């Protein structure tokens, strides 16, 4: 009886151990951690370097999805949401910004170029501009925004209260590592979010649709003109818009804003392909590569003709 009990416990222990090791192989014990911000709500914690689902995830001291800033390079700032950020399903080297850093410096004579990735899931232009206000522009000569139609009226929460603070309250925005990979699996994919009425509450926290247009568009336009920084918009279509070959009314309004303010807008409808989508909006590795190839000539022209 004791032998059977011992064998049973040993089998259970070995099973748990194997499961733990397998889950650790996929990085379930080391999620990307977030920090809260009073101005831009949340962002990845700085100075992270880990693997999640075998994808390398890196943030520098400013929470950008980049390695250290090259102080001798000419700087291009890329702002966006989860499309530009890529999330844990996109390896560092597969990011459009990482590919741009290689592409823009290939066969380049003179100063090198560094493209910085400042982004977070569900960020709108106002989140992006709040980051710019707080951290500065790092001497950038060019700024580009990767935006989608929904960004027109997706406004951030100003002065969030305790119940509206996203890191630590939503399971996809952790603030600390789990004690084990098994706990990480359960915490992230099994236990519901802390917020009551999970689906509705999560949507309200991440997407704050309102009647007023997102202030970030005009803020970036005014800032770029004041600082003599070239500004570009890249309008990324949802999969539905791509199939319809037309942006929705919000997307058309963003195009109008760019046209009225003489801002160069790159239409993703002209360049993206259906096989480049991971889901209804996000890009897979192929989509990230297409984004980099599309942006490269526009950014190269912008920085080469910059008068700063």
Q: Please give the average per-residue pLDDT across 164-177, as a whole number.
A: 89
> Percent of the chain at pLDDT above 90?
77
Question: Above 90 in pLDDT, residue 157?
Answer: no
Residue 82's closest CA among 30, 157, 32? 32
Domain that holds residue 139: 39-156+208-304
Q: What is the rounded CA–CA span in Å between residue 17 and residue 181?
A: 10
Span between the terminal Cα atoms of the chain, in Å: 82
The pTM (predicted TM-score) of the whole model is 0.92
Task: Examine the domain organization and report whether 201 and 213 are in the same domain.
Answer: no
Please count the structural domains in the chain: 2
Task: Examine the domain organization and report whether 203 and 216 are in the same domain.
Answer: no
Q: Please give the average per-residue pLDDT across 50-72, as a whole number.
A: 96
> Which residue(s) pair with 170 in the sheet?
167
Task: Examine the domain organization and report whether 126 and 225 are in the same domain.
Answer: yes
Task: Examine the domain organization and report whether 21 and 46 are in the same domain.
Answer: no
Task: Examine the domain organization and report whether 137 and 51 are in the same domain.
Answer: yes
Query: Is the dihedral angle over the CA atoms 274, 280, 285, 289 positive or is it negative?
Result: positive
Task: Examine the domain organization and report whether 25 and 70 are in the same domain.
Answer: no
Q: What is the pLDDT of residues 72-119, one digit of tens each?
A: 999 999 999 999 999 999 999 999 999 999 999 998 887 899 999 999
Task: Examine the domain organization and report whether 55 and 174 are in the same domain.
Answer: no
Task: Examine the domain organization and report whether 62 and 142 are in the same domain.
Answer: yes
**Which helix (DSSP H) or strand (DSSP E) does residue 199 occupy?**
helix 198-206
Task: Examine the domain organization and report whether 102 and 213 are in the same domain.
Answer: yes
Q: In this structure, what CATH number is given to the domain that contains residue 128?
A: 3.40.50.1110
Q: Please give the average per-residue pLDDT across 266-292, as a whole number.
A: 97
- Give the domain-ending residue among 175, 207, 239: 207
Identify the residue whose tokens are 């305790």: 162
Say what the pLDDT of residue 66 is. Answer: 97
pLDDT band at 197 (very low <50, low <70, confident <90, very high): very low
pLDDT band at 218 (very low <50, low <70, confident <90, very high): very high
pLDDT band at 162 (very low <50, low <70, confident <90, very high): low
Task: Examine the domain organization and report whether 217 and 242 are in the same domain.
Answer: yes
Task: Examine the domain organization and report whether 43 and 185 are in the same domain.
Answer: no
Task: Examine the domain organization and report whether 286 and 179 are in the same domain.
Answer: no
Q: Please give the average per-residue pLDDT across 22-33, as a whole number.
A: 94
């Amino acid at each position: 009886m004791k032998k059977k009990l011992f064998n049973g416990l040993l089998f259970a222990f070995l099973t748990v151990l194997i499961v733990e090791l397998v889950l650790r192989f996929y990085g379930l014990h080391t999620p990307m951690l977030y920090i809260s911000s009073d101005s831009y709500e949340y962002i990845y914690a700085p100075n992270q370097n880990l693997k999640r689902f075998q994808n390398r995830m890196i943030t520098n001291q400013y929470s950008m999805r980049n390695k250290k800033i090259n102080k001798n390079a000419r700087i291009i700032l890329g702002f966006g949401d989860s499309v530009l950020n890529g999330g844990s399903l996109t390896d560092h080297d597969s990011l459009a910004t990482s590919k741009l850093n290689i592409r823009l410096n290939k066969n380049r004579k003179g100063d090198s170029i560094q493209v910085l990735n400042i982004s977070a899931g569900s960020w709108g232009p106002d989140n992006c501009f709040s980051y710019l206000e707080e951290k500065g522009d790092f001497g950038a000569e060019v700024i580009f925004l990767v935006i989608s139609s929904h960004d027109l009226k997706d406004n951030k929460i100003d002065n969030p209260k305790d119940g509206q603070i996203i890191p630590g309250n939503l399971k996809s925005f952790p603030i600390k590592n789990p004690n084990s990979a098994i706990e990480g699996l359960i915490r992230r994919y099994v236990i519901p979010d802390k917020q009551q009425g999970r689906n509705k509450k999560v949507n309200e926290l991440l997407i704050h649709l309102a009647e007023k247009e997102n202030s970030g568009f005009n803020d970036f336009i005014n800032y770029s003109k004041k600082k003599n920084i070239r500004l570009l918009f890249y309008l990324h279509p949802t999969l539905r818009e791509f199939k319809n070959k037309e942006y929705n009314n919000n997307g058309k309004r963003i195009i109008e804003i760019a046209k009225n303010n003489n801002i160069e807008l790159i239409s993703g409808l002209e360049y993206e392909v259906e096989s480049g989508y991971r889901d209804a909006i996000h890009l897979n590795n192929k989509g990230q590569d297409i984004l980099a190839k599309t942006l490269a000539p526009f950014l190269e022209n912008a920085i080469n003709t910059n008068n700063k």
